Every structure is written in C-alpha cells, then in structure tokens.
Amino acid sequence: MPDQGNPGSIGRNIEAITFDAVGTLIVPYPSVGAIYSEELSKFGYDIRPDVLENNFIKSFRQFKKDHPQALLNKDSWRRIVATALFGLIPDHDFDKVFSALWQRFARPEHWSILPGVEETLHKLRSAGLRLFVLSNNDERLHTIFQGLVIGPYFEAIFVSSELGAEKPSRRIFDLVQIRIQVAAENILHVGDSPEEDVQGALDAGWQAALVGPRAATFGSTSAFKRAASVHALFCNT
C-alpha cells in the first residue's frame, strides 16, 4: 500500500494508479442544484437550487438502485434528470432543458478540482507512477479533463459507457488492466465509493484506497488504505 507520507516510495510495487473522477478528483461547480437552477431560469422557471440538488440526489440514487446494471450514458442521464424535474416543468420543455443541461456539464469550467489534487498528481507523476482515470461516466469526461489543468497528468481516461461495464463489475477492471498492460497486483485504484471503487478493485485483485467522507467510518479492515482526500492519502506526513 502507498506510503501516505512519501508518494515517491509508494510501496508494494505499485506501477499504475487509477482514480475515480467525480467526488475523488473533481466536483460540479458551483453545484448540481445551482447549475440546474440557472439553466431552468433561462426557460422562465424559478426553482431553488437546494430543491433541485435534493431531487437530483434522490433520482440518481433511485436509478442506481433500480437499474444496477445500467451504464451511465446519455439515455440513463435523461431518465435521471426527468425524474429529478418531474412536476417542476411541463413535458413540452423537457427536451430543451435536458439538452442545455447535458451540454452545460460537458464544459470544464463547471467542474472544480478538489483541494490538493493537482499537487498530488504532480508528485505522483514525478515519482514515476502511471496515472489514469477510471469512472462510471459518459464520453463527456474526455472533454472535461482536456479542459482542466490536471488533464495532462493522465495517460488515458476510461469511462464505463465506452467500456460497456461499470464499477464494481470485475469486467471493467479487467478491461483496464489489459489496456494499460500492468499486472493486477501492481495497480492501485483510488475512489470515494466503498462498493464501486474499493470492493470492485479488490475483487479484481487490485490494491485499493478509499477517500472522502466515508473513509473514516466505513469498515475496519486493513485490506485497503483510507484518507479524507487524495492529497491526504499521498502527501500528508
């Protein structure tokens, strides 16, 4: 497992690190609810950001629960957004609203890099590690990372909608392993979901690290590393 104080001696023969994207490296800016509210105002609807944020979270979670095998492609996002906006706008405006939101979230300026991420990626690359993104997401992620300052640190951006499988399925981890040509035990995956990121990686024979709010409270196993953030995982002494 990585030595949190020294990314240059990460330990246990790690050659490559894959990172989850949203919630691990980046987050919507200023927020999903704020972006929804602003776009809806252009169509004449005045809906509070907090209402839209809560609706989106509930809709996303319900969709993932009801359709655990569904890829997060454009059709899936359309269904998620439709549920989030149900009863708030008339049906005849939905196509235009969805199109505007789809394009809005493809713009790099509407994503914020989490604190310490750029510094951490620089240190990891300087230490000779190969870095990749592995996300349950759609093709817009390529455009987003191309426009972010951290984009050049990654050799490739792997998204589930293109690979045909989602974390925690072993298939997506195996496909990435084949693409990068590194032995499973020499790959570390870092993410903020215990189920999708940590369990998925461990089941595939990879090493794993959990970051974010759930890292401090999820389980007590020593099978993976944990920290409050990507920066804390690799750079804190």
pLDDT digits (tens, 9 = 90+) for 131-170: 999 999 999 999 999 999 999 999 999 999 999 999 999 9
Percent of the chain scoring above 70 in pLDDT: 94
Exposed / middle / buried, residue 27 (Cβ in 10 Å: 0-12, 13-18, 19+)? middle
Distance CA 143, CA 134 (A): 15
The confidence score (pLDDT) of residue 236 equals: 73
- List, for residues 66-115, the tens digit of each pLDDT value: 999 899 999 999 999 999 999 999 999 999 999 999 999 999 999 999 99
Cα separations (Å) of 101 from 35, 95, 163, 199? 8, 10, 24, 32
Higher-confidence residue of 18 and 217: namely: 18
3 — pLDDT class (breaks 50, 70, 90): very low
Residue 202 has pLDDT above 60, yes or no: yes
Per-residue pLDDT at 11: 54
> What pLDDT sits at residue 222?
75
Q: What percent of the chain is predicted at pLDDT more than 90?
A: 89
Please check whether residue 121 is in contact with residue 153, taking contact to mean a CB–CB distance below 8 angstroms.
yes
In 3-state terms, what secondary structure has residue 39? helix
Mean pLDDT, to the nearest integer, of 178-202? 97
- Mean pLDDT, all residues of the chain: 93
Domains and CATH numbers, the chain: 7-25+114-235 (3.40.50.1000), 32-109 (1.10.150.720)
Residue 7 has pLDDT above 60, yes or no: no
**Backbone angles phi and psi of 141, in degrees to 5:** -60, -30
Strand partners, 112: 27
Please state, in angstroms and as integers, the Cα–Cα distance from residue 137 to each residue in 8, 11, 143, following that order.
Answer: 30, 30, 12
- Average pLDDT of the residues in 174-200: 97
Q: Taking 80 as the threshold, does the pLDDT of residue 58 lie above it? A: yes
